[in-house]
Amino acid sequence: MNTFGTLFRLTSWGESHGPAVGGVIDGCPAGLLLDEAAIAAQLARRRTAQSLLTSSRRESDAVRLLSGLYEGRTTGTPIAFEVANEDAKSEHYAAIAGLYRPSHADFTYEAKFGHRDPRGGGRASARETVARVVAGTIAEQLLREQFGVEIVAWVGSVAKIGSSVDADSVTRAEVDRSAVRCPDTTAAAAMEAEILAARSEGDTVGGTITCVARGLPAGWGEPVFGKLEAELARAMLSLPACKGFESGSGFDGTRMRGSAHNDDFVRDGERITTATNRSGGIQGGISNGAPVLFRAAFKPVATHFQPQQTVTRDGEPTTFTASGRHDPCVVPRAVPMVEAMAALTLLDAALLHRARSGR
304-350 tens-digit pLDDT = 989 999 999 889 999 988 877 778 999 999 999 999 999 999 999 99
Assigned CATH for 3-357: 3.60.150.10
pLDDT in tens, 197-219: 999 999 999 999 999 999 999 99
Given pLDDT bands bounded at 50, 70 and 90, which one contains residue 283?
A: very high
Ranking 38-52, 134-148, 223-237, 298-312 by mean pLDDT, the lowest is: 38-52
Q: What's the CA gap between 83 and 123, in Å, rounded? A: 15
Per-residue pLDDT at 249 exceeds 90: yes
Beta strands in 140-237 (DSSP E): 150-158, 161-162, 207-214
Given pLDDT bands bounded at 50, 70 and 90, which one contains residue 92?
A: low
pLDDT in tens, 250-261: 999 999 999 999
Ranking 98-107, 117-126, 135-144, 233-242 by mean pLDDT, the lowest is: 117-126
117 or 338: which carries more pLDDT confidence? 338
Give the percent of the chain with pLDDT over 70.
Answer: 97
pTM attached to this predicted model: 0.94
Give the percent of the chain with pLDDT over 90.
Answer: 77
Q: Identify the pLDDT of residue 357.
A: 84
Q: Identify the pLDDT of residue 18.
A: 83
- Residue 16 CA to its chain's centroid (Å): 17
What is the number of residues in the chain? 359
Residue 307 φ then ψ, to 5°: -60, 140
Q: Identify the pLDDT of residue 279.
A: 97
Average pLDDT of the residues in 266-290: 95
Q: Identify the pLDDT of residue 49.
A: 63
Q: Identify the pLDDT of residue 54.
A: 75
**Angle in degrees, CA 125, 131, 137, rounded to 5:** 130
Q: What's the CA gap between 288 and 306, in Å, rounded? A: 48
Q: Identify the pLDDT of residue 88.
A: 65
